[in-house]
Amino acid sequence: MPTKIEKDAVTGTPTTGHEWDGIKELDTPLPKWWVYLFYATILWSVVWWVLYPSWPTLRDHTRGILGHDQRSALEQQLAAARAAQARWLERIAAADTAAIEADPELLAYAVRGGEAAFKDNCAPCHGLGGAGQLSYPSLADDDWLWGGSLGDIETTIRHGIRYASDPETRESRMPAFGAEGLLEPAQIGDVVQYVLSLSGRASDAEAAGRGQTIFVEQCAACHGEDGRGMRETGAPNLTDAIWLYGGEPEQIRAQIERPRHGVMPAWSGRLKDEVIKMVTVYVHNLGGGE
């Protein structure tokens, strides 16, 4: 170690005293701005440790005096969102479905809320957008089994259809004309021809004529004299091209011999009252609402 600090002749900067092959290492001090910035970051980190959660401990971590954590920040945001929603839900709760539809703002909110609830609860059976599928009616057309007014739709949703545990559920069952021997197989053949004739598709006019008599006696009470269906009994219109269980002769025959009966769950008590109203309004606005 040199005892006296040597200065570089050209720059005037002290040297470290190291020398290789005549080249000396200068001991240039760090720029002042850099040094102060460095101290400032150290100071900043200390302040941060005090204010915010930072150091791990054996089981936990230091909390910081501000009490900040991501979870409570998220909870605050959720609470704010819920509060904003609550204002709308209060208005929905206070209005009936007709009043909701009369208020454009409320209608827009209800349709969006109803759509979300429909996707979660109804689409598995009725399809996205209520498009329907075999055995599950379309809710987007104007062909209604039980009625397409706001009141009809709400009743259907609240109490379901043939849903045993709801005493106010919609109920009606077509007799098993074949399985219970109410009609002979030949008579069933005739009435199938008559049903086909209602949509202009009978292949045997004579049989259809015989079938008409049977229809008037056995079927008209529910499906109507003209076969256009009746909402009091949930009996479908047999004169159109829309079939719940299929419109082929074998499918019609199967329904007469051993009828299928669709079950729709009741949503009262399962969905919140506000949600039932919103989903009612949503279905009513799918296109077939009356």
How far is it, in rounded angstroms, from Cα 194 to Cα 208? 4
- Rule CB under 6 A: choose which of 111, 158, 267, 274 binds ligand HEC: 267
Tell me which residue of 130, 86, 163 sits closest to 281, measured CA to CA: 130
| Nearest residue (CB) to ligand HEC, 64 versus 127 | 127
Q: How far is the CB of 88 from ligand HEC (least distance, A)?
A: 19
> What are the residues whose beta carbons fall under 8 Å from the beta carbon of 185, sequence distance 6 or more?
178
- Rule CB under 6 A: choose which of 89, 92, 150, 161 binds ligand HEC: 161
Residue nearest to ligand HEC as judged by C-beta position: 262
How far is it, in rounded angstroms, from Cα 48 to Cα 125? 55
Q: Does 264 bind ligand HEC (CB under 6 A)?
A: yes
Sign of torsion over alpha carbons 214, 216, 221, 222? positive
Q: Does 252 bind ligand HEC (CB under 6 A)?
A: yes
Instruction: Count CB-CB contacts under 10 A for residue 150.
Output: 20
Site string for ligand HEC, 193-212 (x = CB under 6 A): --x-----------------
Q: Does 221 bind ligand HEC (CB under 6 A)?
A: yes
User: CA dist 77 to 81, 89, 130, 230, Å?
Assistant: 6, 18, 33, 51
Query: Would residue 196 be called left, alpha or beta, if left means φ above 0 and alpha means ψ between -120 and 50 degrees?
Result: alpha
Q: Does 15 bind ligand HEC (CB under 6 A)?
A: no
Binding residues for ligand HEC (CB under 6 A): 121-122, 124-126, 136-137, 139, 144-147, 153, 156-157, 161, 172, 174-175, 177, 191, 195, 218-219, 221-223, 233-236, 238, 243-245, 252, 255-256, 260-265, 267, 279, 283
